[in-house]
Chain A
């Protein structure tokens, strides 16, 4: 473990807009330097992406960047991050992806020249490695195409590189629907950690070579899948909350490998990572309801350095095209955060506390990412000697926090949810002392046809 102490040990210092290690863009945005900026994300309506449809696809992205940045300039946004999160064919065929990267970069430069708007681009190639089953995590055309898109995006001028990587997801979806905490820990802290290390050891050198930032990863396919399943009442919220705490261990690896933030918006584990690393983080909450529901729409903003909408289709709303409407919403939220900050640290803290208190008592998933909980879980992680132990420690801490908050009346939790705290604690009590023993046990239990053990540095066959 690279980190053995917290960059932000005081929960009152874990606050929106301010990070100990800010990052500065070419146009002068200082992310984490005291100002919260909007980060706009967007996607296409239902269009099949192929060579024949690319003219239409390009028109959509041209419209998005031109209209959204014009609105940002009209509203005098202090700066804007655009995130281009590719759709699968755009990573599979990097020429498609690069068409859009260039359009967005041109739009950013035009807005800078025309309005003086500070804007920047985060390129997020989606992780297509799971398109073959079992996924090839370290070789093959999907891996090669993804690296090519990272390289060409950075070369073209995308200032931030991110990804929602999928290492470990081969088992994690089943672990979620079965409520299997052991398999969650194996997916995130054994498989996920190994893949993150391999992946970010490739992304960071690309960023360094082109003088851009390796920004960070997110356990979206893990923690947010759990959150969405919990929102649909398919799995317990208390279980999803523990999953969220454990995802921080996996996402941390990007920073251990040299990423510097801002962490990606859909990582609701980011407050924990901000406490550990001191790097700025993007967050999404109520303004991401266009993409998915969440129980922490206000609270998520409490520690945000960028404030995002996750993803919205380019469709017409009454106010205009949806990305433009969301740009406006994000800007107004950011104005409020920044105005409170202008009135001084006490005013900013007051607003932060309102954001926290408005959500924290209503859902365990919200409660475990309050500044106080984030620091507690972050402490549990950095006090551990390896990622395996950190996963267990994060889970235990999340359970302790939920139990104490529930017993003290600070957290509303149904009896059927609370029952899962005991069940998960029993699972943790049964965990072996060492990662080696755990791997040995799990390789006998899990479906090893679903993944390539060698890609995770795991024994190809059960060890027995």
Chain B
């Protein structure tokens, strides 16, 4: 009999093959896919995220865990869709127009996926219109905007304005080296995360429980 705790441990330790085998076994033994997600994978990534926040591990170790979760998700996801179970939150993320920096944006996307969000990554140099179109298409709950240059901060402001002008009610959060909480307040964003590690907490704090 497989143990859900073992699956959680395999993800924490980044053991991809074990995660895959345990996921398959647990499903065959009758464990519901949403239980695997809620009781093993998301808590595992939460542990990993905490370790990272506490400087116990580095990003490469965190990503090893994320890849183990991904292996498990490849098996679970079709079952969830089959059962009509959707992720609790849908997020869109991108680097604003004129800016092609994406390390921070990619890490936030990984952290959000680890928290069970469905994440649509629009990439870099994303125009305000492309953000609005993607929000329309995917009916997202939250959008994350990233900028690394002072000269692309105005594009962040324009993107927030475009989203609001289009009447979108979703939450907007921002991040990037030159960005601050006061800038978020100034441009009407709902929140600011100073680093990828705090992006999950931020998203959860602005989204309805």
Contact = CB atoms under 8 A, between A and B. Distances in A.
Interface of A: 43-49, 87-89, 130-131, 133, 173, 176-180, 225, 229, 232-236, 313, 416
Contact of A176 (B103, B151, B153, B196): B103
A49 B103 contact: no
Contacts of B103: 173, 176-177, 225, 229
Interface stretch (B5-13, B28-36, B57-65): B57-65
Contact of B150 (A46, A89, A173, A234): A46
Interface string B195-209: 110000000000000
Contacts of B178: 46
A131 B107 CA distance: 20
B150 A45 contact: yes
B59 A234 contact: yes
Contacts of B124: 133
B58 A234 contact: yes
A130 B100 CA distance: 8
Interface in B60-107: 60-61, 63, 98, 100, 102-103, 106-107
B155 interface: yes
A145 to B, nearest CB: 15
B123 interface: yes
Given A131-B125, A133-B124, A177-B107, A87 B149 contact: yes
Given A46-B178, A133-B124, A177 B153 contact: no
B98 A177 contact: no
A131 B100 contact: yes
A47 B151 contact: yes
Contacts of A232: 195
Contacts, number: 63
A130 B95 CA distance: 14
B59 A44 contact: no
Q: What are the 8 tightest A-B residue pairs by CB atom distance, in nearest-first order? A: A179-B60, A48-B154, A46-B153, A234-B59, A46-B150, A177-B59, A233-B55, A87-B151
Contacts of B107: 177, 234
Interface centre among A46, A87, A173, A235, by most B CB within 10 Å?
A46
Interface residues of B, number: 26
A177 B109 CA distance: 13
Contact of A44 (B60, B151, B155, B196): B151
Nearest to B124: A133
Interface string B111-155: 000000000000111000000000000000000000001110111
A229 B59 contact: yes
B161 to A, nearest CB: 13
Nearest to A44: B151
Contact of A177 (B57, B63, B149): B63
B33 to A, nearest CB: 28
Contacts of A46: 150-151, 153-154, 178
Nearest to B155: A48
A225 B102 CA distance: 11
A200 to B, nearest CB: 22
Contacts of A179: 58-61
A173 B98 CA distance: 19
18 contacts: A43-B150, A46-B153, A46-B178, A47-B151, A47-B154, A48-B98, A49-B151, A87-B149, A88-B149, A131-B100, A131-B125, A133-B124, A177-B106, A179-B61, A225-B103, A232-B195, A234-B58, A235-B59
Contacts of A44: 150-151
B150 A313 contact: yes
A177 B60 contact: yes
A46 B103 CA distance: 21
A47 B98 CA distance: 12
Given A47-B154, A229-B103, 7 more contacts: A47-B151, A89-B98, A133-B124, A178-B63, A229-B59, A233-B58, A234-B58
Interface centre among B57, B154, B196, by most A CB within 10 Å?
B154
Interface string B29-62: 0000000000000000000000000011111110
B123 A133 contact: yes
B192 to A, nearest CB: 15
A416 B196 CA distance: 21
Contacts of A47: 151, 154
Contacts of B106: 173, 177
Contacts of B102: 173
Contacts of A130: 100
Nearest to A311: B150
A32 to B, nearest CB: 32
A177 B103 CA distance: 8
Interface centre among A45, A48, A180, A313, by most B CB within 10 Å?
A48
Contacts of B149: 87-88
Given A46-B178, A133-B123, A133-B124, A235 B150 contact: no
A237 to B, nearest CB: 10
Contacts of B58: 179, 233-236, 416
A376 B60 CA distance: 29
Nearest to A179: B60
Nearest to A221: B101
Contacts of B63: 177-178
A263 B11 CA distance: 45
Contacts of B60: 177-180, 235
Nearest to A47: B151
Contacts of A133: 123-124
A236 B62 CA distance: 13
Contacts of A225: 103
Contacts of B153: 46
Interface centre among B59, B125, B153, B154, by most A CB within 10 Å?
B59
